[in-house]
Chain A
Amino acid sequence: MSPLGPLLLATLLFCIGLYGVIARRNAVLVLISIELMLNAVNINLVAFQNLLFPDEVAVSGLMFALFITGVAAAEIGVGLAIVFNMFRNRASIDVDDVDLMRW
């Protein structure tokens, strides 16, 4: 099995997630797009580990993918809490409205 397929699929997923981050307005949908990008990176890591370096003792690719999964779970928890706070304070979760720190 060639690594070309997984790498192209990961690139496609990453670019779809990038499109979502730029084009979406709803903060929850932006978080969903960020999840897509993180999953694309996971596919890349697993493909490199299992197709190019299958005999490595410290399974670095799989461990990095596991750690990214854990960090993404933490990020989603804190991100949704921030979104709830934003919704409570201004009754809208459009990211275009949150420009308080823009100079």
Chain B
Amino acid sequence: MTGHDVIFVLVGLLTASAAILTVTSKNLVHAALFLAVTLAGVAGVFLTLAADFLALVQLLVYVGAVAVLFLFGLMLTRAPIGREALDNQKRGLAIAVSGGLFVLLSTLIIGAVGSGALGETSVAEVAGPRIEDIGIATFAEWVLPFEVLSMLLLAALIGAIVLARPESGESGEEAEVTRIEMGDAPSSEGPQPLPDGSAPELTSGQGTEGSS
């Protein structure tokens, strides 16, 4: 067991414990902050796997943007605090399903790695591709998925704005009604005669405003 493996085990323990705290925390904001710790731990795992570029992307996109977005989401939706309010009554079922899946998958993985079905598994020196290789691969082999992904991000941006915006008809109408009522308030002592002697229109807010 080399020093590399020791670092990986430490970072992995940090990541796993932060992930468990994320799904069991009673406080919403604590859950989001533990999620940020988990994502930073995953970036550390990427670093020990010699994927430097991906670790930096992880820090930028996940820890920088997604965690802050989740904090905004928690602040904008008023939610109760407490485990009974945050969890439903299916905790036993959830533990059974996820624990069973973990046992099944880890048995399969340990069997596959141990039996040598994956080929040469133990690498002495972990080496990832250089950043220029990643850039060349992005714009040579993967240029069409890259462009499709940019279109997807644009569509998601527009869709999120359209979904999260208040409905256009109602808010505009309400603002108009409020302004007219505020304008009507000073003339509550009775309709004033217009300068030319004729009676003012009672229903029109603009007529009252013009007379005062």
Whether B137 pairs with A58 at a CB distance below 8 angstroms is yes
Decide if A74 is an interface residue (CB 8 Å cutoff): yes
B contact residues vs A (CB 8 Å cutoff): 2, 4-5, 8-9, 12, 15-16, 19-20, 22-23, 28, 31-32, 35, 38-39, 42, 45-46, 49-51, 53-54, 57-58, 61-62, 65-66, 69-70, 72-74, 76-79, 85-88, 90-91, 93-95, 97-99, 101-102, 105-106, 109-110, 113, 118-124, 126-129, 133-134, 137-138, 140-142, 145, 149, 152-153, 155-157, 159-161, 163-164, 166
Distance of B170 from chain A, by nearest CB (Å): 11
Q: Are A71 and B149 in contact (CB under 8 A)?
A: yes
* B86 and A9 contact, CB distance less than 8 A: no
A31 interface neighbour in B51, B70, B122, B133, Cβ under 8 Å: B70
CB neighbours (8 Å) of A82 from chain B are 163
Q: How many cross-chain pairs have Cβ atoms below 8 Å apart between A and B?
A: 251
**Cβ of A59 and Cβ of B97 under 8 Å apart?**
no
CB-CB nearest in chain B for A19: B98
In the bound assembly, the distance between CA atoms of A39 and B67 in angstroms comes to 13
Docked-complex contact B160 and A16, CB < 8 angstroms: no
**24 interchain pairs, CB-CB under 8 A:** A2-B122, A6-B8, A7-B109, A8-B106, A18-B97, A19-B98, A29-B23, A35-B66, A46-B49, A50-B49, A58-B137, A59-B129, A62-B51, A62-B129, A75-B156, A77-B156, A78-B160, A80-B69, A80-B160, A82-B163, A83-B73, A83-B77, A87-B76, A93-B77
